[in-house]
Structure 1
């Protein structure tokens, strides 16, 4: 049941952050004016309502199988690679306390293990096609380009994606983790919550706000880069999507109305800095802070887990 509830939150969040809605007229590759694309959705809850209206309950649970497989893979990895008698505390906004270098190594290793499934999850959430839970071959053909299927390691080479993920890890490990251990050490002690200092809790809240200001843009950028597929066709540059052979036709959600708009396949982001700059130029700086409150809540709540 917890997985289903998480999927509702994640699926709506991914679509809200992925929705491409330029604030003005854009120029296409031929220099002609291109009309704005994507629905204007101004809040997380408005996106939730839109998903439910267009795709129904089924649309809220897109990405179930990749998420389940990720959970199983990470659980097996932890059981096999780590000492089962020394459980590790790990979440998106918290890493186990094994020293700075140990924590960095652990977090990056977890990233390498889970990234392919994260890519499949985000793409399955944003695709317009209905993917069967028990037909992985057809789903893979829809979600991955022929190049990605032939060379799956290219997923790790998606321009800017690893940089955004590693920066996210560095903020957690080098800034948020030490601040939490320094300001709220009593939460790990035998006395539990009884010795929490209100002053230190206030300082940690400030730290969490500062971390949110850094992490939320990285998460929005990661969302945009994760759903941007790779190819190596000679007539396109190395990050554009292939047009032909990119999957098999399948049933679509919502008929003529799509939940979100996406960038043109022929005009991809070229990296972390390029993605940030284009988002600001085309959609406004606040696009980088979509659903920032969910990031802040996740950071603050993880201090008590």
Structure 2
């Protein structure tokens, strides 16, 4: 990008210098192109993300199935309803069948708000903060601290979006038809009275901040480890002199792929478990409501919002009236493991693995020399 809004220092003694002249036509074209690509991206990704959130939010406790149970077969195996709620593509079809295309795009408004805030507010502030830290540290210390502090500043920015992420999760999982352009009605439906009175309480939901931080720390830790391993094995230059056929080179490649596979498996597993727990914790209201269903909450508060379906829900949500509320990230992990089993913590693991695979595959590609 040729337009710079931040101060920079070329080779010279001047601390602040003027930025390059702004080109309005080119800048407008870049804004339009970025906006268009963002719209296309959200149009393609929102239904897929929504199905994944519902899949991981669905509460499916382990219980003895009776012969008359509609969710079980004669052999006691999960029936069509249970399978539709515990498989990704089954959940995708279920959402489309019950809620239609409107339900497929639930959560797109919070996603748009999050994207706009990231581009307009967060990214410039982060860039300015990193630049200032780098400039201030360069002169007295002769060391660039901007890149060192960048990950910590990014983590702080991610934590600032926790309330919006909680709202997005609740919008996706609610069975109600929330109006897209009436935020007051939507927030009244998905937030408790105490949360509406003090929105900052969303930061105090047990375990959500911890899960969010760990979900972002894991890639920040695993990627440098992978780069160090590749540097130690030096596979890009190992076969330069021997034609790539020596036993040592084969062992290096084998070790590289073996370690990379297990690092990928560990990263995908950790991120999947953390995301499942974060979604479950985000659905808890603060404080825990006493009524047995969301409809009772809405009736008491006078919210008139229609249901997508009065006879069938897309997913089952764990309610505080039947179960104790999660008190921490660790408690949520133990509760899900005890009530639903390990498979509930690994729902959609292959989607997470595909999303983090480029982090491990791209460094293996040798650089192109032109």
Whether these two folds match at TM > 0.5 is yes
Counterpart in the other structure of 2:167:
120
Q: Verify: 1:181 aligned to 2:238, yes or no.
A: no
Counterpart in the other structure of 1:172:
219
Conservation of the 8 A alpha-carbon contact between 1:20 and 1:262:
yes
Picking from 262, 280, 284, the partner of 1:228 is: 284
Deviation of 1:302 (Å):
4.2
Q: What RMSD in Å do the two structures reach over aligned CA positions? A: 3.0
Q: Give runs of ≥4 in structure 1 deviating > 3 Å.
A: 83-86, 197-203, 242-247, 302-305
Q: Verify: 1:274 aligned to 2:318, yes or no.
A: no
- Cα separation, 2, equivalents of 1:254 and 1:9: 21
Counterpart in the other structure of 1:258:
313
Deviation of 1:85 (Å):
11
Structure 2, unmatched stretches of 5+, are 1-39, 65-70, 73-80, 132-145, 232-251, 364-370
Picking from 266, 290, 294, the partner of 2:351 is: 294
TM-score by length of 2: 0.65
Picking from 194, 201, 214, the partner of 1:154 is: 201
Counterpart in the other structure of 1:20:
59
Rg bigger for which structure? 2
**CA separation of 1:102 and 1:84: change in aligned 2, threshold 3 A:** closer
**CA separation of 1:183 and 1:300: change in aligned 2, threshold 3 A:** farther
How many residues in Structure 1 have an aligned counterpart in Structure 2? 266
Picking from 122, 127, 137, the partner of 1:82 is: 127
How far does the alpha carbon of each residue in 1:4-55 deviate from its partner, in whole angstroms, 9 at most, with x for none?
1111111000000000011116xxxxxxxxx99xx51231011111111111
Q: Verify: 1:56 aligned to 2:111, yes or no.
A: no
How far does the alpha carbon of each residue in 1:220-251 deviate from its partner, in whole angstroms, 9 at most, with x for none?
00010111111288x89xxxxx9475561211
**CA separation of 1:302 and 1:65: change in aligned 2, threshold 3 A:** farther
Conservation of the 8 A alpha-carbon contact between 1:17 and 1:290:
yes
Counterpart in the other structure of 1:206:
262
Q: Name the structure with the higher helix share.
A: 2
Conservation of the 8 A alpha-carbon contact between 2:130 and 2:147:
no
Deviation of 1:84 (Å):
11
Greater relative contact order: 1 or 2 (C-alpha under 8 angstroms, separation 6 or more)? 1
Q: Verify: 1:111 aligned to 2:166, yes or no.
A: no
Deviation of 1:183 (Å):
4.8
- Cα separation, 2, equivalents of 1:209 and 1:138: 42
Conservation of the 8 A alpha-carbon contact between 1:183 and 1:201:
no
Structure 1, unmatched stretches of 5+, are 26-34, 87-96, 186-196, 237-241
Deviation of 1:81 (Å):
2.9
